[in-house]
Amino acid sequence: MVNTSIQCGIPGCGTLVPSELKSDGCCVSHFLLAADKACNEMRREAASGESSATRLGELQTYVAAAAMKLALLGTGGAKLSDDLKKRVLTTFLTLMILHENLVDRPANLYVPRRVARPEAAALTAAANF
């Protein structure tokens, strides 16, 4: 039987990489750290309002891919400690919130002011009589 286990590519780590993260080449802890860091950077980028629609789409694609990996990791064959399970769920929540912010971003850029219409003012005045 051939051993297909690989170790985390982060210098000094040496933890085995679960099959769900082999394409990333890092262990669960380092994947979670990288995802959290990426979310923070993307949140700042999106909040600046200077991201194009294409860039926002790229950010959404990253969020979806990372969330899929976390879902596979959480339901796959990897034996995770309770602490790692908690961190997976926390990172998943962070990705969900970021996704909501990215999806709602175009709608948040334009917030119409409330303009009083003359007919609405007349109805309000008549109701107060």
Q: Indicate the pLDDT class of residue 58, thresholds 50, 70 and 90.
A: very high
Separation of alpha carbons 89 and 96, rounded Å: 10
Domain assignment present for 115? no
Domain of 53, in residue numbers = 28-108
Separation of alpha carbons 54 and 58, rounded Å: 6
Q: What is the mean pLDDT of residues 56-60?
A: 91
Please count the other Cβ atoms lying within 10 Å of the Cβ belonging to residue 98.
Answer: 23
Tokens of 106: 């175009």
Domain assignment present for 4? no
Q: Indicate the pLDDT class of residue 117, thresholds 50, 70 and 90.
A: low
Domain assignment present for 20? no
Total domain count for the chain?
A: 1
For residues 6, 7, 10, 14, the Cα torsion angle rounded to the nearest 10 degrees is: -170
Highest mean pLDDT out of 6-10, 11-15, 84-88, 101-105? 84-88
CB 35 within 8 A of CB 91: yes
Please count the other Cβ atoms lying within 10 Å of the Cβ belonging to residue 8.
Answer: 20
pLDDT digits (tens, 9 = 90+) for 73-111: 988 888 889 999 999 999 999 999 999 988 876 544 444
